[in-house]
Chain A
Amino acid sequence: MHLVRLLKRNNRKPKKEPSMNTFLTLIDPTSLAANPLVLVALVFTGATIGVIGGLFGVSGCFLLTPVLAEIFGMDYTYAAGMASCHAVGIAATGLRRHTRVGSVDIRLGLTIAVGAAMGAIIGSKLLDLLKVIVFAGNSDDLDFTVRIIYLVLLVFVTTLFVKPAKAGDSSILQKLQLGFRWQVPGEPEKTFSGPGTIIAAFLCGIACGFLGIGGGVLYLPLLVIAVGAKAQNAIRVSLLIVLCSAIGATIGHAWADHVSLTGAMMMIIGSSIGVQGGALICQKLHTEKLKRYFIFVLLSTMGLIIWKLIHP
């Protein structure tokens, strides 16, 4: 508890708005480098998130943002910015690792990614606008709203994983008759609506930019459940989308000075090693067991947010 209190005292909120006086203030607006203990804690947090990312093929930012906000006591805007920056590194690493094993449907991935990246930029700007216009700079009210939205999203994703679509049934986007059609990755006999997928990816992108998550937790169900792609193909396409979405969100957050590059790099040092360990464990575990563990991680994240809502 002492460490948590110490971390909170150092990182609760920036004492003043980050100035543009020096480049150093820009790199480290929350003065994280002032406390070596916080930097070490960030490396360990990154390593843990990396193991989870490697295990489930996601960037792990759906867990990282609440951890930074609730345990490190960071402002949600800074937590979202750092998580987006961290997602760039993790998605690039994951994509490189997966492309060594098999090919990625680049055309599908990039087309969805364009919609997702545009959504992510809008999402990160929306968070900024909400803070300034709706909440008049009141971070506590903004944090409460973000927590509620996060909770709703996690409940939705958990429901998708608990109740998967029946085998043999056409997915939602395969049934949707809107605009041009694309072939389902790995299943050339099946097609799905292209514009419908771009719209869905755009909406997911807004959620990613707003909440500072890489989006694997959203794009994976989108590709597996809504598009009907096979898991391995979906993971590769999802990682490409996550990378593009994270790039969009990072541009938005960095432009608004909401990224502590020092903190993000500390986490990447840990997570780039952790992700290799997670991928090794993943090879030894059965798919059903992996799914159950993933639901447990989602429920734990929900528990952390609910606990913070009850005890602000």
Chain B
Amino acid sequence: MSKLIMKTLFVGLCLLAPAIWGLTIEAVFYKLRRKSASCKTSEEK
């Protein structure tokens, strides 16, 4: 039974860990892109 729980946990971890990490990094870069874009527009003004 514990073997089954461990395997299920592992499968869940294999799916969630890469997705959460990837989405977090994407969110950080999106904020950076927006920041640089707003800086550019304010410079142009």
**Chain A residues touching B, range:** 20 to 34
A86 proximity list for chain B (CB < 8 A)? 18
Closest to B3 in A: A20
- State the Cβ distance, B4 to closest chain A Cβ, in Å: 10
Is residue B11 within 8 Å, beta carbon to beta carbon, of the partner chain? Answer: yes
Could you say which of A89, A247, A255 contacts B22, with CB atoms under 8 Å apart? Answer: A89
**Cα distance A88–B16 in the bound complex, in angstroms:** 9
- State the Cβ distance, A87 to closest chain B Cβ, in Å: 8
Is residue B23 within 8 Å, beta carbon to beta carbon, of the partner chain? Answer: yes
Asked whether A254 lies within 8 Å of B10 as measured between CB atoms, the reply is yes
Contact with B along A79-120 (1 / 0, CB 8 A): 000000110111011001100100000000000000000000
Q: Within residues 32 to 91 of chain A, which ones have a CB less than 8 A from any CB in chain B?
A: 85-86, 88-90
Is residue A198 within 8 Å, beta carbon to beta carbon, of the partner chain? Answer: no
Q: Within residues 1 to 30 of chain B, which ones have a CB less than 8 A from any CB in chain A?
A: 3, 6-7, 9-11, 13-15, 17-19, 21-23, 25-27, 29-30
A85 proximity list for chain B (CB < 8 A)? 14, 18
Closest to A273 in B: B25
- Across the A-B interface, give the 6 residue pairs with the lowest CB-CB distance, nearest first: A89-B18, A93-B22, A89-B22, A272-B25, A254-B14, A92-B19
